[in-house]
Amino acid sequence: MKKLRTILLGITTAVMLGMGASQAATPANTFVMAKDIADIITMDPAEVFELTTGEIIANIYDRVMMFEPEDLQTLVGGVAESWEVGNGGKTITFKIRSGLKFHSGNPVRAEDVAWSLQRVVKLNKTPAFIITQFGWTADNVDGLVKALDDRRFSVTITEEFSPGLVLNALSAGVASVVDKELVMSHEKDGDLGYDWLKSNSAGSGAFSLKTWKANEIVTLDANAGYRHGAPGMQRVILRHVAEPSSQRLLLEKADIDMARNLTPDQVKGVRGNSEIAIDGYPKGTIVYMAANAGHPVLGKTEVVQAIRHLVNYEAMANSFLAGQFVVHQAFWPAGLWGALETTPYKQDVARARSLLKAAGHGDGFELTIHTLTNSPFPEIAQAVQADLAKGGIKANIVTLEGKTLWPKYRAREHDIILARWSPDYVDPHSNADAFAHNPDNRLEAKLTGVLAWRNAWADDSSNMLAVKARNELDLGKRKEQYLELQTMLQKTGPFVIMFQQNEQVARRNNLRGFVSGSNFDLVFYRNVKKQ
Amino acid sequence: MRASTDQAAVGSGLTPPSTLVKIIGVLFSLALTFLGLTAITFVISRVMPVDPVLAIVGDRASNEVYQQVYLQLGLDKPVYVQYLKYLGQLAQGDLGSSIMTTRPVIEDIKRFFPATLELATVATLLGIFVGVPMGVFAAVHQGRWPDHIVRVVALLGYSAPIFWLGLVALLVFYAKLGWVAGPGRLDVYYDGIIDPVTGILLIDAALVRDWEIFRNALSHLVLPASILGTFALAYIARMTRSFMLDQLSQEYILTARVKGIPESRVIWGHAFRNVLVQLITIIGLTYASLLEGSVLTETVFSWPGIGQYITNSLFNNDMNAVLGGTIVVGVCFVGINMLSDLLYRLVDPRIR
């Protein structure tokens, strides 16, 4: 008994010694954010397509073209200092900036840039389509993307694409410039350094990757020799905190500088705290419903139009979505070049009922809404369910994890899908190609990356306009064509586009300079400073 | 006791199995257990409506990219061929690579399991050192207020949702009182300072005599271990009370008391010694279940343990990781069972 008491006393003392050992605030030269980083599966820019790594590589690598945090609306050269369009718009010759260096100390050469693009095409991972759409294949890319000398390289496209679109696509993550010499020194069995680059970095951006421990932490170190000058923080830490409530507590205790995944309730909860500020960033993510055109009822234009009139968008945006989503009804997000910002639909039950009657479904019908399990999708689905009931439509809701939902969607096994979509790069063609362009609607065509195909919907006029806008050389005309295409899809087609995300970020008041742009990979840490 | 057993064996014409036969028997049953474990997990993975290819390529991948990875993973082969191939790799100690972390599963397990081991061990120790005396105390005072208090505490610990308990504990002891550190195993500034030897931070920090990191790790461990320990404590206290009540009503206890043996000796030296075998079973099972990883505790406290690892892998149909994790859990159960068997022999001469 005496021994037991001694042991218990020992444990208690040890515990007491440990208490309060946590620091009160983050170090002045370190930016610590809490985020759910479980989506990270690779750090290789040729493969990165997840939200978290999208923003991480934006801070590690300079791209051929870039949107900089100082002006997110203007496309400027990244490693490219200047460029010239020739050969009837099919060849662009770039000159790269002088004096650029990779983190390794190697100079950034035109050869590195050309090789980085060639590597993406040859590895052919998911995001490769962003540049392979220009007609580049593993067989021809060496001839079409090539270094001319140390500072000049050219890209030639084989398709009739607008040069503006090519330049925009070269601002995507796949256009990150990697250090050829360093990567190739880690090559194994002709893998172009793929295995090594999954968990290492070889860039010339504002930060380099120090550590990545899956489901735990990502640490970035500042590149003091960055072309825009040394970043404000010497180190950036992304700490994996999956639970939003825990993120909130950490922020309130100043153990982190920023919480990235607070729920609307938690945002509301910290608003009164004078040491915490909430920033809103309009993002490119849109929330939409898509009706399977192969469905005998949902394939009718009037029925989808009726659904558009049944949904009460404002009620949702003003209640449970407060602050985190705003009403948006076109496929290209508001705030971006070429976006249609009109919101013609409001709940109009009488009109919806007359449309249903005209389609021969005045007595209503039954359907299933498949959606994701994570908030706010189940909540939106329930609100839509109630709205559709007003038109006599009985909607059943099935919530599934993404990994279970996507196979159903890609196999056209749904009635209605309620999901999200983000642009792959900052050009309207990115979404037009998914929503409005389905060149082959046959099941065996398996254009599974195309939303229109997934919904078994193809329309000649929509296809033609999408291609016309894609190829248009005149910027003004191109914009008009995209506006027309969005207007067209607001009235026809299988999509009911509902909301656009507004990312809410909670930060400590002493932190400034964090920038989150419209696209998932336009998040910048280099201007972050602490007062 | 042993003599009568031997006589019985001789009398029945049977001879006790040799040690070698016993070892072969144990190894055979172990192999069979693991074969069953991997086979069931493998079949479950194949009937789950989750697409492992999409976990790698993402939902926007073209059909060409999808097919490329589908073939790379060998999913075009019959399930039994895939399973046999996996067993072949396993026999060479290769658990494959994880889709989600891109690293060899064995490396992941080396990183995630020690975190769970650390948490589960402290929680179980808490359960033993607090739960057992609580249970004994309640049994000795059966029907009186100490018994009622222990029963209520045990009931609360057993039935309160661990997720809620964790969040409330964080709010009170971390956010409001500031007595302990918050989520995570260490403050981020200490991350990577010491090289992992065992992966158990308290031990690794003690080995290099870095007491600042030791204190920080301990401060982070206190809360999740206490929360998890509450569950262990409640279960162990409840079972100890029940076992003790059973023993205290036996005639040998009455005899001991009549002989004038001090009450503390009657309780601890006689009654308690007789519940040890049952308690070892309970503690072993509790420890093994905590070693599986408590997903909810790990989530609330951002504790990078094996529970979160297996759960995330399962959601993404990262089957190499799931199978690797399952094997670790299987090893834990088998190992703890064997340890329990060994302890039975130590505490109960009748079993020797």
What pLDDT is recorded for position B352?
Answer: 61
**Of chain A residues 105-124, which have a CB less than 8 A from chain B?**
124
CB contacts < 8 A (A, B): 176
What pLDDT sits at residue B23?
79
Out of A57-61, A370-374, B47-51, the most confident range is: A57-61
- Cα nearest neighbour of A35 on chain B: B302
DSSP-derived 3-state class of residue A441: coil
Q: Please, which contacts does A86-89 make with residues 24 or more away whose CB atoms are closer than 8 Å?
A: A87/A156, A89/A162, A89/A163, A89/A473
The 10s digit of each residue's pLDDT in A252-308 is: 999 999 999 998 889 989 988 999 999 999 999 999 999 999 999 999 999 999 999
DSSP per-residue letters across B85-132: HHHHHHHTT---B-TTT-SBHHHHHHHHHHHHHHHHHHHHHHIIIIIH
- Give the pLDDT confidence score for residue B18 in this predicted structure: 72
Q: Which range, A76-85, A159-168, A318-327, has the best average confidence (pLDDT)?
A: A76-85
- A96-134 per-position pLDDT tens digit: 999 999 999 999 999 999 999 999 999 999 899 999 999
Q: How far apart are CA B277 and CA B285, in angstroms?
A: 13
Per residue in A319-360, pLDDT (tens digit) is 999 888 999 999 999 989 999 999 999 999 999 999 999 999
Q: What is the CATH number of domain B105-351?
A: 1.10.3720.10
pLDDT at A1: 46
Q: How far apart are CA B325 and CA B96, in angstroms?
A: 12
Q: What per-residue confidence (pLDDT) applies to A172?
A: 95
Closest chain B residue to A446, measured at CA? B63
Domains and CATH numbers, chain A: 41-202 (3.90.76.10), 282-502 (3.10.105.10)
What average pLDDT does this structure show over A418-444? 94
From B27's Cα to the closest Cα of chain A, the distance in A is 35
* Chain B residues whose beta carbon lies within 8 Å of the beta carbon of residue A22: 178, 180-182, 187, 216, 219-220
Say yes or no for a CB contact (<8 Å) between B219 and A252. no
**Which of chain A's residues have a Cβ under 8 Å away from the Cβ of B222?**
15, 18-19
The answer to whether A3 faces chain B, any CB pair under 8 Å, is no
Per-residue pLDDT for A11 more than 70? no
Question: Considering only CA atoms, which of B87, B77, B116, B53 is closest in space to residue B325?
Answer: B116
* DSSP-derived secondary structure letter, A89: G
A404 shares contact with chain B (CB less than 8 Å) = yes
Give how far Cα A93 sits from Cα of A82, A147, A174, Å: 8, 10, 18
> Is the distance from CB of A289 to CB of A453 less than 8 angstroms?
no
Where along chain B do the CATH 1.10.3720.10 domains lie?
105-351
Q: Would you call A242 and B316 a contact, using CB atoms and an 8 Å cutoff?
A: no
Q: What is the pLDDT of residue A20?
A: 46
Predicted pLDDT of residue B17: 65
Residue B161 at interface with chain A, using a CB cutoff of 8 Å: no
pLDDT at B15: 61
Contact A341/A481 with Cβ under 8 angstroms? no
Rounded percentage of chain A residues whose pLDDT exceeds 90? 83
Contact A49, B58 (CB under 8 A): yes
To the nearest whole number, what is the mean pLDDT of chain A?
Answer: 92
Least confident of A7-21, A37-51, B63-77, B333-347: A7-21
Each residue's pLDDT expressed in tens, for chain B with a length of 352 residues: 344 444 444 444 556 667 788 778 878 888 888 888 888 888 887 777 778 888 788 887 888 888 888 898 888 888 889 888 888 888 888 888 888 787 889 999 998 999 999 999 999 999 999 999 999 999 999 888 888 988 888 888 878 888 888 999 999 999 889 899 989 999 888 888 888 889 899 999 999 999 999 999 999 999 999 999 988 899 999 999 999 999 988 889 889 889 888 888 988 888 898 888 889 989 998 998 888 767 888 888 989 999 888 888 887 778 888 888 888 888 888 888 888 888 887 877 776 6
Shortest alpha-carbon distance between residue A247 and chain B (Å): 9
Best CA proximity match to B58, nearest among A113, A39, A29: A39
What value does the CA radius of gyration of chain B take, rounded to a whole number of Å? 25
pLDDT for position B10: 43
Q: Would you call B63 an interface residue with chain A, using a CB distance cutoff of 8 Å?
A: yes
ipTM of the complex: 0.77
| B158: nearest Cα among B221, B224, B237 | B237
Could you give the 3-state DSSP secondary structure of residue B157?
A: helix
Measure B7 CA to nearest chain A CA, in Å. Answer: 41
Q: What are phi and psi of A236, to 5 degrees?
A: -120, 130
Q: What six digits make up the tokens of A308? A: 């558009």
A350 in contact with B at a CB cutoff of 8 Å?
Answer: no
> What is the residue-wise DSSP string for B260-310?
T--HHIIIIIIIHHHHHHHHHHHHHHHHHHHHT--HHHHHHTT---HHHHH
Q: Which residue has the tokens 């690598």?
A: A61
| Residue B320 CB neighbours (<10 A) | 23
User: Of A193 and B318, which is predicted with more confidence?
Assistant: A193
Q: Touching check for A49 and chain B: CB below 8 Å?
A: yes
The two tokens of residue A6 are 């001694």
pLDDT at A185: 97
Contact A18 B180 (CB under 8 A): yes
Nearest of A245, A18, A220, A29 to residue B186 by alpha carbon: A18
Could you tell me the pTM of the whole model?
A: 0.83
Distance CA B212, CA B92 (A): 41
Residue by residue, DSSP assigns A113-130 as HHHHHHHHHHHT-GGGHH
Cis peptide before B304 (omega within 30 of 0): no
pLDDT of residue B16: 62
Distances (CA, A) of A407 to A106, A271, B73: 44, 40, 17
- Cβ burial A165-198 (10 Å sphere, 16+ → b, else e): bbbbbbbbbbbbbbbbbbbeeeeeeeebbbbbbb
Nearest to B300 among A198, A216, A243 (CB): A243
At residue A182, what is the residue type? L
Phi, psi of A136 (to 5 degrees): -85, 130
- Residues β-bridged to residue A101: A107
For chain A, count helices (H), then strands (E): 19, 21
Provide the token pair at B37: 């474990």
Contact A406 B49 (CB under 8 A): no
The Cα B36–Cα B86 span in angstroms is: 14
**Residue B143: its pLDDT value, please?**
87
- The structure tokens listed for B224 are 């999740």
Chain B: closest CA distance from residue A392 (Å)? 32
Residue B1 pLDDT = 36
When CB atoms are compared, the residue of B65, B188, B219 closest to A217 is: B188
Quick check: A194 pLDDT over 50?
yes
Determine, for residues B49 and A404 on separate chains, whether the beta-carbon distance falls below 8 Å: yes
Asked whether residue A19 carries a pLDDT value surpassing 90, the answer given is no
Asked if B226 and B234 count as a contact pair (C-beta separation under 8 A), the reply is no
CA distance B197 to B190: 16
